Structure 1
């Protein structure tokens, strides 16, 4: 399997991975995909599917075997060694924060790692886990090329007015600006729209990436114009455990109540969002199944704020030609999508109530002035494509 690219997408509680073979003309042919989920929980689980979608591995481990990302990496590494005869030509990684300087995928070296480490305070939930497998592989196989692909890079096409906060300019020059995240997902959707929704592909589209982390992106002509996320991955839409848009005065209040920076950071990243509002769960599936009024409030709030964001992003583009839902909630939680669409009815969204199947890309009627589509994302494919381009450029 020498002509392969391995992609690792490490998060706070899971590690997703895919292995791609190189076909004719460097076409990417997925060999398998999988993830270790439940890291740090009571039943960490490794599931792998082959190219046809057939489950080839479904293994549950003891909690001590994947108590943290490093332990999960060791499990994954052991499984991969058994499956891959030869090293891949490169490993591609998702790195959430690239800061103001990194606007394209980069070949990893010690200098780059140190600079990315300095950005950990801006993405404490993600950046350390993104960098951990890079360091682990670098220690064990220093000769193996690794490529960092940044979630912020796709948004560097924003106009200045979209990237600034209303703070003194010297802070902007120091890097205090709106970055936007989930860029690899949005970039993938931009590559898919010409095939699945050609009528809107070059138009003004709001893409809602709704998962454990949530954001929405205004895309015009396939380029990012604006995004709901800002300086960190806390801003914008409510998320599983993060609050989204929040008055900075709330943070000042928490400080005045005696909470230090570490306690506030933990609170904002782990105790808010759907979990905090419902008091029940950060999982939309649990909330949809519950008859607790707090669950309904959390879901109502999620739909309310998401519809507001879609309207605001449409304003950024001067109009709206289409909406796309993607990621876990966007792809699978039909009741949540329906609620958001109904809240956008005034913009010309006419939800087709008869279309129940998640496999249908379009979920609005043919008469809808603003068509809405469900398009599965594939960040790992995007990372593999970038990784291959960087490796080929080095070989040239």
Structure 2
């Protein structure tokens, strides 16, 4: 007999497992998650793990601040450290910063101005002279995306969901305009009342046969880990929108560096790409970190890695019902997925159960798939010069 389930979720990363967790909290317990490898083994495991609410798009800021409750509740279990988050801008972006902060406060984000002297106390080795203004989120910080996915999976299982690993999906099954289940790579099928596709960049190939154009491109994101040569203490996350970089503490006293300049992206095959940073990127990291932290005279590179972003044209996710009945997609997170993942799970669960969002300040229409065909992209009304894509 074919296997049946109320909801089948394709993808056992952060968003798929968060959706299973959220559905069980809504009382939908007959849920099956299908993961082609192991939980969190795809893009989830390569996340840089920043937790922030600093977004110009109000609905994203609202999702991020609501998600903080999950991070704060589970804390050390998911590697969450509430070290705080600082964003610094140059003179050309001060107005955008002020307007963005005001919009964030309107949806519940706790963000405040902080002066140069206060930032210098937290980051004494930094050259802060190029910055004209700073914003501070005391509740921000960083965490471990892999551990977070595992926590979602454990909570979902406790709520009654089933998570099947090493179970690749070959096809979404559709009949008379409605999704009715999936076919697995081994030829077997699972019937379902609702299908949720949360498979990152692999979502594109699953939806395309049904005429659903998911406008996602895959881009390689490189990370460099640095030994600063001194104790970082309780250093916060720093988002440097002057030299376009972000840095945060890492385990063992290291510093994680990422590049915020997304003006030139590097397309990649998510099934075949180098998982190490390239020499020119390492040179860029050295230049940027040395310029911002000239006090680190004994700093050295310790390791590198690379992952992939599934990027949409407006750098914001698709969390949406589709033209196929009973088919919901959650993909294209463009680097935002970790910090909003608890809210993503809740929004997808809302779409499955009610067809609309119950999250305050998060209209489901913001993340609809059709916005791309309509030419109505989800963009910040207060973009930062040089870093508009990620803010």
> How would you bin the TM-score normalised by the shorter chain?
under 0.3
**Higher helix fraction (1 or 2):** 1
Bigger relative contact order, structure 1 or 2 (CA pairs below 8 A, ≥6 apart): 2
TM-score normalised per structure 1: 0.23
TM-score (norm 2): 0.23
